[in-house]
Amino acid sequence: MSPARRTAALSIVTPFAAVAAAHVVPAATWLPVLRAVCCPRLAGAGRPDHVALTFDDGPAPESTPYFLDALDRLAVRATFFVLGESVARHPELSRRITQRGHELAVHGWTHTRPWLPAPVRDVRETERAVRVVQDTTGRRPQWYRPPYGILTAGRWAAARRAGLRPVLWTAWGRDWTADATAESVRLTVGADLRGGGTILLHDSDRTSSPGCWRAALGALPGLVAACRDAGWAVGPLAEHGVPEDRHGRVGPRGAPGLG
């Protein structure tokens, strides 16, 4: 290729590469070590005497009610990160979650991977999810967790525009796999569980192995008991004390509106 053609090609490719990089770089917060060190607020680090219990991917009528019953027995309230289209499909179940003392948060409209920048779509779908939660329950959600925990620049901006605080997690149970058991979920969460942490589990198998939600359900009593034995209360993010910066934002240090 001649120097002139190479220069012309670079002039076309470079802007697209810059946009792609800006889109993807914030998603590095998916990495647990980076998140814990650089952005504890985004990881969901709260007050040291409390553990936040959160669930993703619902509501699902075949599984979520079992979690509500289990949480009642344990006298625990939690935060459910819901998909907007599932709330629209199951409004009564969505209302039941809040009526039983739990908190609804936004997990997106659908459970998609953000491979390409789509800022207009991100804004539209995030705001649509906020509206359906508020219209269905009468309560405006406060929190946002992107599907797969992939917080791209577009999804972060869409969440902030919708008035949501992005929060990921400090410990998860790998409860979406086909070989997950109650014991494996309990041990996996326990390996990273600390006071002030945020636990990620799933109350639905919509995007994972069929029936795997039973492993998370079976792990709940042991996880709650372990937290209480350590002197930690268990509850929703609303009670977790995740700090805000002076701009009222939550996120990685050093990024505008994220630090």
Residues 106/129, Cβ–Cβ less than 8 Å: yes
Query: Among this protein's residues, is 175 annotated catalytic?
Result: no
Nearest one of 196, 210, 203 to 240, comparing CA atoms:
196
How far apart, in Å, are the Cα atoms of 16 and each of 4, 20, 199, 209? Answer: 19, 6, 37, 36
- Torsion angle defined by CA atoms of residues 236, 240, 245 and 249, in that order, rounded to the nearest 10 degrees: -10
| 3-class SS letters over 162-193 | CCCEECCCCEECCCCCCCCCHHHHHHHHHHHC
Cα gap 16→84, rounded to integer Å: 31
Catalytic residue among 23, 107, 111, 202: 202
Catalytic residue among 56, 57, 175, 203: 56
Stated as kind and residue range, the H or E segment containing 26 is: none
Cα gap 156→126, rounded to integer Å: 10
Cα gap 160→51, rounded to integer Å: 24
Query: Among this protein's residues, is 69 annotated catalytic?
Result: no
Query: Could you give the residue numbers annotated as active site?
Result: 56, 202
